[in-house]
Amino acid sequence: MTSVQPASVTRVVVTGATGIAAAVATELASRGAQVFAISRTESSLAELAARVPLAGFAVADLSDEREAERAFSTADDALGGLDGLVAVAGGSGRRLGDGPLHEIPLEGWDRTLGLNLTTTFLAARETIRALLAGGRGGSLLLTTSVLGWSPSPEHFSTHAYAAAKAAIVGLTRTLAAHYADDGIRVNAIAPGLVETPMAARAAQDATILNFAARKQPVAAGILDARDVARLAVPLLDAVSVTGQVVAVDGGWSVSEGRPVVAAR
């Protein structure tokens, strides 16, 4: 097989419309990229479009195969051929029944994986299909979480969510290996605790805020979504990087997060 030369990324689909996704769309647009956003919430898309010059947007539940196919077809047409994806869509499964494993009903497990893992699978599949059909290289950036390998049993015992995010690490690496000769790069970011709508519960809990200040010491607490975007966008366009998972976690994965005990 003749390898396709990796190319820069200028026509990008972003899944999600708030939090990290909104910050990424804003950063991409500021660098001159054409951005198409996909979210299941029309009001969030409208708010994003009012702030960011989007090439277009589509309302879709990306855990539904037909809706995902339709949305990505619309995106490909609007962009004149896409060459990048930042897959952020996902969220907490607490309201769906996620929690400690012994308490999770099967429906809660399935729906949490659908929200986080199936959405990523379908977004990645549709992007890769478009790239292969166009015979062009491109770049995918998936979103996992430090909870996939650095758990917090006291504050974040959502085991279906952690399992889904850990699976995205494996998906990232196997896709990167398989499609490298096609000039398709696949990487992932692994955020820590970030100020997003999903983290609203944590942001209002003094105990968790205190924990975050210790667990994410270089961020001195909850991360700003813009800091994640400032790493995500250059990684999307890094033509010599593939198969990597980069933590943007303020030190979470290298910090014990224990209370500081004053010296006696």
Residues carrying an active site annotation? 161
Alpha-carbon span 211 to 92, nearest angstrom: 19
Helices 119-134 and 65-79 meet at what angle, rounded to 10?
40
Percent helix, strand and coil across the chain, each to the nearest 5: 50, 15, 35
The Cβ of residue 148 has, within 10 Å, a number of other Cβ atoms equal to: 20
Helices 225-236 and 19-30 meet at what angle, rounded to 10?
50
> Which residue do the tokens 């700003």 mark?
224
| Strands in the chain per DSSP E | 11-15, 34-39, 56-59, 84-87, 138-143, 184-191, 245-248
